[in-house]
A and B are shown apart, each in its own frame.
Chain A
Amino acid sequence: MATPLVVSEVAKSFTMHLRDGIRLPVVADVSFSIKAGECAVLGGPSGAGKSSILKMVYGNYAVDQGQIIVKHGDQLIDLASASPRTVLQIRRDTIGYVSQFLRTVPRVSALDVVGEPLVARGEKREIARERASDLLSRLNLPERLWSLPPATFSGGEQQRVNIARGFITDHPVLLLDEPTASLDARNREVVIGLIGEKKKAGVALLGIFHDADVREAVADRIIDVTDFAAGKLAA
């Protein structure tokens, strides 16, 4: 079976055209792969480029150089050069993402926000809501909030909606951008449990966790992002 995610020789920089075209190199020569059932954690200080790597793998940031090969169904696709349409299909079926902050949509209930990735894949809305309820109750989100739009929720409540939304599908690759940052100890435990279940199910996980306890509990391997520091070769 092919490796679900292989990143090779990826480089990324930002060119700030409004600042006289100044070029900010972020990372260079990023290479790693993640096996099915493995959770790799991106390590390194803030500003090292961890989030940028995660965003490139999700197709949210453009890639300057290199390849990001994803096993999408029985095809191997280079995300770095894929068309927007292909990236959308990969997001629907192959790569899931739990972002740091929930982007709320006016008037859509928490239950539907969580169930939406299933509906997008053709699941019935009732079934999606049922699965969403299961996850939200596991994450201890009070039931009275389920029918409300999450815009007014606290940071921790929004984060749990976001986690439920990311974990509801069976995407073979799951990206986690500090999913436990604003959670209390009890809910951190729940997330550690959910990650463990994903690993057992053969999902390849790539995450950023600032919380050392969570990192130790879930990481099979730390990928040190400072190894990919742009300009390191020149220094």
Chain B
Amino acid sequence: MMTDEPLLRVSALSKFYGSRIGCEDVSFELWPGEVLAVVGESGSGKTTLLNCLSTRLLPTSGTASYRMRDETWRDLYRMSEAERRFLMRTDWGFVHQNPADGLRMTVSAGANVGERLMAVGDRHYGNIRASAVDWLGRVEIGEDRIDDEPRAFSGGMRQRLQIARNLVTSPRLVFMDEPTGGLDVSVQARLLDLLRGLVTDLGLAAIVVTHDLAVARLLSQRMMVMKDGRVVETGLTDRVLDDPRAPYTQLLVSSILQV
């Protein structure tokens, strides 16, 4: 599961919106099979960072290199638009907080999953349908719902469908932006458990942006705490949460309500 080379190397990444800081001087490495949580309040720059890493946004300065399936290293910001799009469709996944941003709401659940497979060149209808059924099952959506549109799904089901759509092409790296945000607590628990299982079984690397420290604890091995666009603390997730060092991390950890 753990190889000696990272999958992603990020160095001194900064993004400015005019003179305002989006994120500044972020560096880290991510290895295969590793889940990194990026936590902080809204406005801390965590979503800007995620958007830069997933090339949805171009940084102002800094580099990010990715190890392709053929073991060559590529600078993400020097790739052509077509290459980036190919990466997004095949080797990467992006799970949005709002499933409507990651799904096509007016085509069936099966087509939402099948579409990603067609994008990587699968043309056999029977295979595509079989994969779709398999993946819907893995995210606990019954086969009888395959022809329904996501519009007819609950929030939790939509989020599970979005996950299936992302994972069907066996990506090696998945970006998640508040994947459990906006869901009821019981629905969250189910989704988290599902994500945890899939990440472990598939050996996925993932970068999860969340403001919820419990989500970070459950999903990630490593954590990065951001404030005002800068990384204020990084380390093993349980170390950061149990022995927070930075003033801001201490504030975050002490603000959790105990049930």
Give residues in A with beta carbon < 8 Å to B: 14-18, 55, 59-62, 84-85, 87-89, 105-108, 122
Kindly provide the distance from the CB of B222 to the nearest chain A CB, expressed in whole angstroms.
5
Instruction: Name the A residues within 8 Å of B192 (CB-CB).
Output: 106
- Closest Cβ of chain A to B246, distance in Å, is 8
Contact B189 A17 (CB under 8 A): no
Decide: A105 and B247 in contact? CB cutoff 8 A: no
Contact at B242–A55, with CB atoms within 8 Å?
A: yes
Q: Which of B34, B243, B245, B246 has the most CB of A within 10 A?
A: B243
From B59-67, B155-163, B231-239, give the one contacting chain A. B231-239
Knowing A61-B242, A62-B243, A107-B190, the reply to whether A18 touches B2 (Cβ < 8 A) is: no
Instruction: Pick the residue among B193, B235, B245 that contacts A108 (CB under 8 A).
Output: B193
Distance in Å: Cβ of A213 to nearest Cβ of chain B: 30
* Contact of A106 with B193 in the complex, beta carbons under 8 Å: yes
Contact flag A62-B239 (CB < 8 Å), given A18-B254, A85-B31, A105-B218: yes
Complex contact A16–B196 (CB within 8 A)? no
Interface size class of B (residues with CB under 8 A): 20 to 34
Q: What is the distance, in angstroms, from B243's C-beta to the closest C-beta of chain A?
A: 4
Interface string of B31-46 (1 = CB under 8 A from A): 1001000000000000
Partner of B189, one of A14, A55, A59, A106: A106
Which 9 pairs show the lowest CB-CB distances between chains A and B?
A17-B247, A106-B189, A84-B236, A107-B193, A61-B243, A17-B250, A84-B222, A62-B243, A106-B193
Secondary structure of the A side of the interface?
Answer: mixed
A-B residue pairs in contact (CB < 8 Å), sample of 24: A14-B243, A16-B250, A17-B246, A17-B247, A17-B251, A18-B250, A55-B242, A60-B242, A61-B239, A61-B243, A62-B235, A62-B239, A84-B222, A84-B234, A84-B236, A84-B239, A85-B31, A88-B221, A88-B236, A105-B193, A105-B196, A106-B189, A107-B190, A108-B193
Binary interface encoding of chain B residues 190-229 relative to chain A, with 1 for a CB under 8 A from any of its CBs, else 0: 1011001000000000000000000000100110000000
B239 touches A60 (CB 8 A): yes
- Count how many pairs of residues, one from A and one from B, have CB atoms less than 8 Å apart in the complex: 53
A224 to B246 CA separation, bound complex (whole angstroms) = 31
CB of B161, distance to nearest CB on chain A (Å)? 19
Cα(A84)–Cα(B220), bound, Å? 12
* Whole-angstrom distance between the Cβ of B232 and the nearest chain A Cβ: 11
CA–CA, A181 to B80, complex, Å?
A: 61
Task: List, in ascending order, chain B residues with CB within 8 A of A60's CB.
Answer: 236, 238-239, 242-243
Chain B CB within 10 Å, residue with most, of A16, A84, A89 = A84
Residues of A within 8 A of B254 (CB): 18
Distance A18 CA – B248 CA, assembled complex (angstroms): 9
- Nearest to A52 among chain B residues (CB) is B243
- Minimum distance in angstroms from B135 CB to a CB of chain A: 19
- B230–chain A nearest beta-carbon distance, Å: 16
Q: Are B236 and A87 neighbours in the complex by a CB distance under 8 Å?
A: yes
Q: How far, in Å, is A133 (CB) from chain B's closest CB?
A: 21
Cross-chain contact B242 with A84 (CB below 8 angstroms):
no
With A15-B245, A61-B239, A84-B235 given, name 16 new contacts (CB 8 A).
A17-B246, A17-B247, A18-B250, A55-B243, A60-B243, A62-B235, A84-B222, A85-B2, A88-B236, A89-B2, A105-B196, A106-B189, A106-B190, A107-B189, A107-B190, A122-B1
CA distance A15 to B250 in the complex (A): 10
Q: Nearest chain A CB to B72's CB is how many angstroms away?
A: 23
Nearest CB in chain A: distance from B116 CB, A: 27
Are A18's CB and B236's CB within 8 A?
Answer: no
Known contacts A59-B236, A85-B34, A105-B196; A18 and B247 CB within 8 A of each other: yes
A18 to B236, CA, bound (A): 22
* B251 pairs with A18, CB closer than 8 A: yes
Residues in B whose Cβ lies below 8 Å from that of A87: 236
In the assembly, what is the distance between CA of A31 and CA of B29, in Å? 34
CB neighbours (8 Å) of A89 from chain B are 2
Q: Using Cβ atoms and an 8 Å threshold, which residues of chain B touch A16?
A: 250
Could you tell me the distance between the alpha carbons of A3 and B182 in the complex, rounded to whole angstroms?
51
B residues less than 8 Å from A62 (CB atoms) = 235, 239, 243, 245
Q: How far is the CA of A105 from the CA of B219 in the complex (A)?
A: 11
Chain A residues with CB below 8 A from B189, complex form: 106-107
Flag B11-27 by CB within 8 Å of A: 1 or 0 each: 00000000000000000
Find chain A residues with CB under 8 A from B222 CB. 84-85
- A78 CB to nearest chain B CB (Å): 15
A60-B234 Cα distance, complex, nearest whole Å: 13
